[in-house]
A and B are shown apart, each in its own frame.
Chain A
């Protein structure tokens, strides 16, 4: 009997904890979405703050595109994130494969180098890069931003890819070779298809890393035509009146792609996160 009540108590405790965390995540996001659907007078009515909009409106989203050129921001963000994501993934496959399959001189230092880059404050690299970029004309270009995201997301992705490859049984590859596959064939026909989830996870890391980045964007880009979403939205705050409805709408649109990606690929992303940071 005592055992049973204890078990029920444990269950109740667990449900309470899980509910708490669920609400802690959902409520702030709910507040964001709700704000973006309110009309401007309702948002800044300090006397009665409404928890559900009296009048639901899409005007914030509309003005985002009409007045603040959100389409251009979206395009810039997509171009930079997708291209850097693809390149990071390709380089990670190469590097990860080399680091997992071969023993060579300097391999450990390369791993260490990649780890150390994770520990150095990015601003310390951004400052000199700003000078270098302005000397070679990469300031205010998407290419400069692409280069930076390529560099900043690569170390973590290589290490993650390496541990994915380490888990992949070498014997499978050897079997393919014995059956007459060339190295390239065995790579494309055996290794990569099995590794697809891992590759997608790495792409998501690189994509999210570039998509969410703010500081380098603000430093390297000054012309509105090349702004990414965070940089463009940041320019809307700091003025005397902040249009919170529009900002929240922009925020919702900015988090949508990452949230969808993460939601569908959560299992692999989680696997990649744990594989990348902790050595087994």
Chain B
């Protein structure tokens, strides 16, 4: 009961703070506008439409997130509910002195880079091949884009079964093609287990890239290619001087969103390897999950999350700066 009271109090303070900020903003806004044109009544209609979304996001997203940030600085273990106290940066020092942390950070990097790279390359190839109309393109797209609609869970199951060491089809095919001499225990071998996760993720993510790039390709006006033909441009020149510049904003946006999304998603890891063997296929989010719901150390998990968010934020800023996205369009 005491804890509920604490949360309620906290919640009201939060709400009050939000209200104050909003009121202050409206106040400033009016003051600012007064000098420009006569004061008019604020139209409340759009607030009526957007309020449910806003309230839901603040309550179900903002508030828990705030809790997470506080938890990151607390000794918060579900196994010791009486010993919850603020311990400053202890969680963070523990993370960085954890011998597995480097391994996990390295895994995350390999996982993200390989997944994004291959999804992008394959997605681009598929989009280019789909560009011209052909009979049955609709049906073809419905099949080829299907992995997008599948759940990570089902895809995970499928790949776990296919890469099964004893009865898996992958070993069988490789044996029959004489690529390997013995069955490989894919999921039990460090390195290979992460590879299986990466392959599954690439398989799942190609459609999204293809969909985005295809849409961008189709928005390029045909006249430009015709003009280039008149000037005697070759196919390669056309690709690099027309196609790429035109779809660049889409590519940048898709790369940014997908990198973060892939980085954050870990249901494939949970289903296929469970992080094993010995954390060799663990990434930061899946490690957070293990930390929170296997060791019940919520404080550590939250601290990891804070590190993760900072890395993602830095990455986004760096990425947008590097690609000069502000010149290509707006967010």
Interface of A is mostly: helix
Instruction: Establish whether residues A91 and B149, one from each chain, have CB atoms under 8 Å apart when the complex forms.
Output: no
A259 — which chain B residues lie within 8 A by C-beta?
A: 146, 149-150
Instruction: Establish whether residues B140 and A18, one from each chain, have CB atoms under 8 Å apart when the complex forms.
Output: yes
**Number of A interface residues in the complex (CB < 8 A):** 94
User: For window 241-264 of chain B, which residues contact chain A by CB distance below 8 Å?
Assistant: 249-250, 253-254, 257, 260-261, 263-264
- In the complex where A118-B257, A124-B302 touch, is A255 in contact with B150 (Cβ < 8 A)? yes
- In the complex where A123-B288, A125-B64 touch, is A214 in contact with B50 (Cβ < 8 A)? no
- For residue A266, CB closer than 8 A to chain B, the reply is yes
Alpha-carbon separation in the docked complex, A158 to B329 (Å): 21
Alpha-carbon separation in the docked complex, A244 to B158 (Å): 10
Instruction: Establish whether residues A35 and B143, one from each chain, have CB atoms under 8 Å apart when the complex forms.
Output: no
- For residue B52, CB closer than 8 A to chain A, the reply is yes
Instruction: Establish whether residues B167 and A212, one from each chain, have CB atoms under 8 Å apart when the complex forms.
Output: no
B142 — which chain A residues lie within 8 A by C-beta?
A: 262-263, 266
Q: Smallest distance from the beta carbon of A131 to chain B beta carbons, Å?
A: 7
- For residue B323, CB closer than 8 A to chain A, the reply is no
Of A21-29, A60-68, A167-175, A189-197, the segment with at least 4 beta carbons within 8 Å of chain B is A21-29
Chain A 236-252 against B: per-residue CB contact (8 Å), 1 yes, 0 no?
A: 01100000100110010
B26 — which chain A residues lie within 8 A by C-beta?
A: 105
- For residue A176, CB closer than 8 A to chain B, the reply is no
- For residue B212, CB closer than 8 A to chain A, the reply is yes
Instruction: Establish whether residues A127 and B151, one from each chain, have CB atoms under 8 Å apart when the complex forms.
Output: no
- For residue B103, CB closer than 8 A to chain A, the reply is no
Instruction: Establish whether residues B67 and A255, one from each chain, have CB atoms under 8 Å apart when the complex forms.
Output: no
B57 — which chain A residues lie within 8 A by C-beta?
A: 113-114, 117, 151, 154-155
Instruction: Establish whether residues A91 and B151, one from each chain, have CB atoms under 8 Å apart when the complex forms.
Output: no
Instruction: Establish whether residues A91 and B52, one from each chain, have CB atoms under 8 Å apart when the complex forms.
Output: yes
Can you name the residue of chain A whose Cβ is closest to the Cβ of B148?
A: A262
- For residue B317, CB closer than 8 A to chain A, the reply is no
B161 in complex: contacting residue of A25, A112, A113, A244, CB < 8 Å: A244
- For residue B230, CB closer than 8 A to chain A, the reply is no
Alpha-carbon separation in the docked complex, A208 to B215 (Å): 22
Alpha-carbon separation in the docked complex, A211 to B264 (Å): 19
Instruction: Establish whether residues B293 and A219, one from each chain, have CB atoms under 8 Å apart when the complex forms.
Output: yes
**Number of B interface residues in the complex (CB < 8 A):** 98
Alpha-carbon separation in the docked complex, A4 to B61 (Å): 59
Instruction: Establish whether residues A98 and B60, one from each chain, have CB atoms under 8 Å apart when the complex forms.
Output: no
Instruction: Establish whether residues A255 and B50, one from each chain, have CB atoms under 8 Å apart when the complex forms.
Output: no
Instruction: Establish whether residues A121 and B305, one from each chain, have CB atoms under 8 Å apart when the complex forms.
Output: yes
- In the complex where A124-B302, A131-B298 touch, is A273 in contact with B129 (Cβ < 8 A)? no
Alpha-carbon separation in the docked complex, A132 to B150 (Å): 30
Choose among B42, B140, B157, B270 the residue with the greatest number of A CB atoms under 10 Å from its CB. B157
Instruction: Establish whether residues B49 and A258, one from each chain, have CB atoms under 8 Å apart when the complex forms.
Output: no
A124 in complex: contacting residue of B68, B211, B263, B267, CB < 8 Å: B68
Can you name the residue of chain A whose Cβ is closest to the Cβ of B257?
A: A277
Chain B residues proximal to chain A, CB less than 8 Å: 3-4, 7, 22, 25-26, 29, 42-43, 45-50, 52-54, 56-57, 60-61, 63-65, 67-68, 71, 122, 125-126, 129-130, 132, 138, 140-154, 157-162, 164, 166-167, 169, 172, 203, 206, 208, 211-212, 215-216, 249-250, 253-254, 257, 260-261, 263-264, 266-267, 270-271, 274, 285, 288-289, 292-293, 298, 301-302, 305, 308-309, 312, 316, 329-331
Contacts A31-B161, A158-B53, A213-B151 known; 12 new A-B pairs at CB < 8 A: A43-B167, A117-B61, A127-B305, A128-B302, A151-B61, A212-B152, A215-B266, A233-B157, A234-B271, A251-B158, A254-B151, A279-B329
Q: List 29 A-B contacts (CB under 8 A).
A: A17-B125, A21-B129, A22-B140, A22-B144, A25-B144, A29-B146, A94-B50, A98-B46, A118-B260, A120-B61, A121-B263, A123-B288, A127-B68, A127-B302, A128-B67, A128-B302, A129-B64, A132-B64, A136-B4, A150-B56, A151-B61, A155-B57, A212-B150, A212-B151, A214-B270, A218-B293, A248-B161, A263-B142, A274-B212
Closest 5 CB pairs of A and B: A98-B49, A212-B151, A102-B46, A128-B67, A151-B60
